Structure 1
Amino acid sequence: MVHIISVTKVIQLIFIYSLTATLHDPAFGDSPPYNTCSSSAADSGHAGAIYSNLKKVLISLALNASAAKFSDASSGNDSDRVYGLYMCLNYISNDTCNNCITTATQDITKLCPNKTDAIVWEEVCQLRYAYGNFFGQLDVSGNIPKYNRKNISEPERYRSVVNNTLNNLTKLAAFDPSNEMYATGEVPFTNSDTLYALVQCTKDLSADDCDACLNKAIADILSCCYFSRGARLLSRSCYLRYELYAFYNGDTEASVSVGNQASGKSNQRRMWMIIILAAVAAFLLLVVASTGYFFAAKKVARKRKGMVRKQIQLHKIGDASKTGLRYQHVRGRDDDLKAQDFYIDLETLDVATSNFSDSNMLGQGGFGPVYKGVLSDGKEIAVKRLSSCSEQGNAEFTNEVLLILKLQHKNLVKLLGFCVDGDEKLLVYEFMPNSSLDAILFDPRKRGLLCWSKRINIVNGIVKGILYLHEDSRLRIIHRDLKASNVLLDYDMNPKISDFGMARIFAGSEGEVNTARIVGTYGYMAPEYAMEGLYSIKSDVFSFGVLLIEIITGRRNTGFNQSRGATAPNLLAYAWHLWNEGNALDLIDPLLTDTCSPDEFLRYIHIGLLCVQEDAFDRPTMSSVVVMLQGETITLCQPQKPAFSFGRVTDDDDNNYCSVNGLTISDLSPR
């Protein structure tokens, strides 16, 4: 059996090697240059002068290519004037651009001799000339799609992801001047595949024409090639491409599977391999069978041992007199969640996170670092490793495990399991592929991925998640650290609220608690909590108001850069200033101007200001906020002045978490 399997693998390797060796371009069936030539030739009476002017234009463009990724030139008088321009993809070097345009110059004269209008596309550049002035004029005629010969397994879902990604990049390229008509982005598609996309326009176009050109390109490419793993669209005025490998970082499809090519062997070596494998086949079978039996027996023994250890440790985590928990499981109305069913041993988490390697660290939270892990079945997880000096002790840990396991809402990050092993306390959550909201919202290159509709979807999701914690869950929970970095995004940019390490349980209908321990993040904390230690559901409302204004403006509350000469310590103060002046529309994110209704934007700013009023009594509840967001006909009251200073806080970036004071907390009590 081993002999047969080995021969089969060798044959497969030979086939793969022979196949890849014949491909000039591993992604596309044909290779550049691609060209389009007009059917008409130059008038014979002016052919000499026109050819001379064309030669001058091409030489000028080739010289410019050593210093710029885009240039245009013209030469001649009115009757024989020739116009030309080139565009190199922004990610290549100037030397590569120069070489590409030099090649394009040779190809265009060879492929389109004496034509009045011609364009040639090379791998990373395009060159165009015409006898009429086309500078600044949008031209989407004759778009040419090119697609990868390999198909995708989920074409409809892939089409949706590609469409959303390209549309978002289009807005970035067209309407963000800092991007200079160019944008790239990457979006996870599956656990193993990431979509990489690029869009670019010629710089002679207006922003609106760039947007129109790329929209037409997207429509063309998706109508013909959505089933393919990758594609590019060649247009006179713009260019787009997407693949499942980082082509703009120098990767090729062949490099993704380079191990296949490296596996080629000579005929003689393959023959020796077959002989050796045949000789030891019986021995290997015996070893495999023996090893399998040994590990199976060991696994059973370890499982039994682990069950005993878990039962012992579960008795120790938490003080029953303080938590009110008398059992090792939480009884629900119609279910019975046993803690041991969610227990994941430390050995498994060590393997999943590569021994908690720094390369797997996703971030540093208030109670310790968070790592990405992959379980043996391929499932991706996020592991929160609680700091040994954290005051989130056994009682708090028990609270987080036993309560979050009961919290089920589409806008809350799901707890999958936990581990207690000596001093180690770990929580295992579902993995969110698009990281946290702040990583995209405050990144000038990624912010364009969040169009107005996506931002409103995120706002509504956050509201629903917090409303569930405040009013709809079986125990009232206050988050106390709601912020952009604690809102994670799934594959479709849907929000999920994370980090319940600072959530506290309210007893019965009690509405406000006082604590000597102040934890939170500067810029998001309600003033009464920061200065007096008083927290209530209105504390989360304040944090939500800050977050709402950040989301729709694309600006941070803290570290806010003043503009228009206004004296404002933060975004809230500046928003209040513009609101009173009647200039609140100045706050709108420039990337949203074409997709956002001014009236809708002003309404959201209004709601945000109502949530951040200094007096907690004046702030609405989350249920009222839901009504405000959904009811356009509802009349909103005038907001009062927001709180501009925030008293004492624990900085989110401060890694010393051992000096906080103790916490006063009520016993657990169901509603």
Structure 2
Amino acid sequence: MKKLVHLQFLFLVKIFATQFLTPSSSSFAASNPSIAPVYTTMTTFSPGIQMGSGEEHRLDAHKKLLIGLIISSSSLGIVILICFGFWMYCRKKAPKPIKIPDAESGTSSFSMFVRRLSSIKTQRTSSNQGYVQRFDSKTLEKATGGFKDSNVIGQGGFGCVYKASLDSNTKAAVKKIENVSQEAKREFQNEVELLSKIQHSNIISLLGSASEINSSFVVYELMEKGSLDDQLHGPSCGSALTWHMRMKIALDTARGLEYLHEHCRPPVIHRDLKSSNILLDSSFNAKISDFGLAVSVGVHGSNNIKLSGTLGYVAPEYLLDGKLTDKSDVYAFGVVLLELLLGRRPVEKLSPSQCQSLVTWAMPQLTDRSKLPNIVDPVIKDTMDLKHLYQVAAMAVLCVQPEPSYRPLITDVLHSLVPLVPVELGGTLRLTR
């Protein structure tokens, strides 16, 4: 509104300047410095003095123009007041805006799914930051078949994730959290608050929540292919994931992380990125899930936060000193990249009392071009351009550097991955047949 008023004021000033400071009047004053003041004084304060017809006609024209400007200025002022009043009215009626920006990509295919839920009897409530659908727990119980074991599709730290069939056989995922501790309640509240503000094609979509004394529920979109952990380390052992599909999953994950780090205000650190928290839809599009441990930088601070995460993915500086930054997520991403590359778990048991870190085992071989092709996941061995293989290995090495300052920003990783992913999968690589 202030900007509009300012522009209108400048417009009036410009009209005034062009009409009253004409070249003829200014040159007349310049050539007759002693006459101009007297002439102006006489015509203003001595209306009885007769002047020539040219001067009288010019005075009448100036009077008409002045009257026109006064009328237009008054009208403009009235319009501005009406607009300002309407703006104040709309501002009072409108809900508080979400401070975190929208996603960089367009509406996801899941928007149709959300609209189909409108017929379900739910109560729409709002938090201070965003909107959340409030489900009735009995509706969710019915949708999951009474939380039957056969409908379990995942396991979390405080409960299970169930496949649910909502209205018109619409599929969803329901995470049931047993409120056995204050920590479980905090994670539930944290996840709902964060996901209610976040909309991005590579972040899991929150459909709603429910809360009771003994249990809480988070309702997400259903990801038909399960988690990356299931695909890599489950019965199929990664057989459905080609080299290019793995690079696409890495790129999708990097895009999700970049949104959290660079586009959210304040920035969000996921703090528990791992292959089991990267979910895949029917087309193997990857989305980051499980925001119970995520923190907003500047709100909770980023140093000396209580240690949380999963062994094998936790960055050394966070594990040893409690220092948490966005580079902690970059380290975890590097471990996921190694899983995609090598097909191994982040921590492997050598014996009942001894474990081996994937980073420790792989690091010496990742930088040796003669050894690297031999440790690649057998499912994808000899299926990629060796130059691309070396590039991905170099990225992984940089991401898992012990010193955080040596790790790249997730934006840099993203830009390095784009040329390795085919155009049809969201990158810029053009394959030659």
TM range (shorter): 0.5 to 0.7
**Candidates 537, 541, 553, aligned match of 2:342:** 553
The answer to whether the Cα contact below 8 Å between 2:373 and 2:381 also exists between their aligned partners in 1 is: no
Change (3 A) 1:452 1:561: farther
- The answer to which of 395-404 and 533-542 deviates more is 395-404
Match of 2:384 in 1: 596
Instruction: Please list every run of 5 or more consecutive structure 1 residues that lacks an aligned counterpart in the other structure.
Output: 1-190, 192-302, 312-327, 332-336, 633-671
Match of 2:49 in 1: none
Please state whether the residue corresponding to 2:393 is helix, strand or coil.
helix
Higher relative contact order (CA 8 A, sep 6+): 2
Aligned residue type for 2:359: L
2: CA distance, partners of 1:421 / 1:507: 31
Change (3 A) 1:543 1:349: same
How far off its partner does 1:581 sit? 4.2
Change (3 A) 1:423 1:579: closer
- Aligned residues: CA RMSD: 2.8
Change (3 A) 1:585 1:560: farther
How far off its partner does 1:391 sit? 3.4
Match of 2:222 in 1: 431
1: CA distance, partners of 2:189 / 2:367: 48
Match of 2:196 in 1: 405
> Which structure 2 residues correspond to residues 234-245 of structure 1 after superposition, within 5 A?
none
How far off its partner does 1:531 sit? 2.1
1: CA distance, partners of 2:184 / 2:345: 33
1: CA distance, partners of 2:372 / 2:383: 17
2:409 is aligned with 1:621: yes
Change (3 A) 1:444 1:393: closer
**Candidates 229, 232, 247, aligned match of 1:456:** 247
How far off its partner does 1:553 sit? 1.4
**Candidates 268, 276, 285, aligned match of 1:485:** 276
How far off its partner does 1:497 sit? 0.9
Instruction: Please list every run of 5 or more consecutive structure 2 residues that lacks an aligned counterpart in the other structure.
Output: 1-112, 114-120, 421-433
The answer to whether the Cα contact below 8 Å between 1:350 and 1:356 also exists between their aligned partners in 2 is: yes
The answer to whether the Cα contact below 8 Å between 2:337 and 2:396 also exists between their aligned partners in 1 is: yes
The answer to whether the Cα contact below 8 Å between 2:335 and 2:396 also exists between their aligned partners in 1 is: yes
Please state whether the residue corresponding to 2:298 is helix, strand or coil.
coil
Change (3 A) 1:541 1:375: same
Aligned residue type for 1:512: S
The answer to whether the Cα contact below 8 Å between 2:131 and 2:196 also exists between their aligned partners in 1 is: no
**Candidates 365, 390, 395, aligned match of 1:607:** 395
The answer to whether the Cα contact below 8 Å between 1:511 and 1:537 also exists between their aligned partners in 2 is: no
**Candidates 361, 375, 378, aligned match of 1:574:** 361
How far off its partner does 1:533 sit? 2.1
- Amino-acid identity (%): 38
Change (3 A) 1:598 1:486: same
How far off its partner does 1:470 sit? 0.9
> Which structure 2 residues correspond to residues 146-225 of structure 1 after superposition, within 5 A?
none
**Per-residue CA distance 1:628-652 (angstroms, 9 max, x = gap):** 32468xxxxxxxxxxxxxxxxxxxx
How far off its partner does 1:511 sit? 7.3
Aligned residue type for 1:555: R
2: CA distance, partners of 1:423 / 1:603: 50
2: CA distance, partners of 1:412 / 1:630: 18
Please state whether the residue corresponding to 2:389 is helix, strand or coil.
helix
> Which structure 2 residues correspond to residues 25-424 of structure 1 after superposition, within 5 A?
328-330=126-128, 337-339=130-132, 342-392=133-183, 396-424=187-215
The answer to whether the Cα contact below 8 Å between 1:361 and 1:371 also exists between their aligned partners in 2 is: yes
Match of 2:55 in 1: none
1: CA distance, partners of 2:186 / 2:237: 40
How far off its partner does 1:367 sit? 3.0
Change (3 A) 1:469 1:631: same
How far off its partner does 1:549 sit? 0.9
2: CA distance, partners of 1:443 / 1:421: 34
Match of 1:318 in 2: none
2: CA distance, partners of 1:503 / 1:601: 32
Which has the greater radius of gyration? 2
Please state whether the residue corresponding to 2:330 is helix, strand or coil.
helix
Tell me the TM-score normalized by structure 2. 0.64
2: CA distance, partners of 1:338 / 1:575: 45
The answer to whether the Cα contact below 8 Å between 1:367 and 1:390 also exists between their aligned partners in 2 is: no
**Per-residue CA distance 1:297-325 (angstroms, 9 max, x = gap):** xxxxxx7xx86xx97xxxxxxxxxxxxxx
Match of 2:320 in 1: 531
**Per-residue CA distance 1:103-124 (angstroms, 9 max, x = gap):** xxxxxxxxxxxxxxxxxxxxxx
**Per-residue CA distance 1:191-218 (angstroms, 9 max, x = gap):** 9xxxxxxxxxxxxxxxxxxxxxxxxxxx
Bigger helix share: 2
Tell me the TM-score normalized by structure 1. 0.42
Match of 2:304 in 1: 514
2: CA distance, partners of 1:363 / 1:630: 31
Count of aligned positions: 299
The answer to whether the Cα contact below 8 Å between 2:135 and 2:210 also exists between their aligned partners in 1 is: yes
Please state whether the residue corresponding to 1:591 is helix, strand or coil.
coil
How far off its partner does 1:395 sit? 5.1
2: CA distance, partners of 1:491 / 1:357: 23
The answer to whether the Cα contact below 8 Å between 1:442 and 1:554 also exists between their aligned partners in 2 is: yes
Change (3 A) 1:364 1:355: same
How far off its partner does 1:352 sit? 0.7
**Per-residue CA distance 1:209-246 (angstroms, 9 max, x = gap):** xxxxxxxxxxxxxxxxxxxxxxxxxxxxxxxxxxxxxx
Please state whether the residue corresponding to 2:223 is helix, strand or coil.
coil
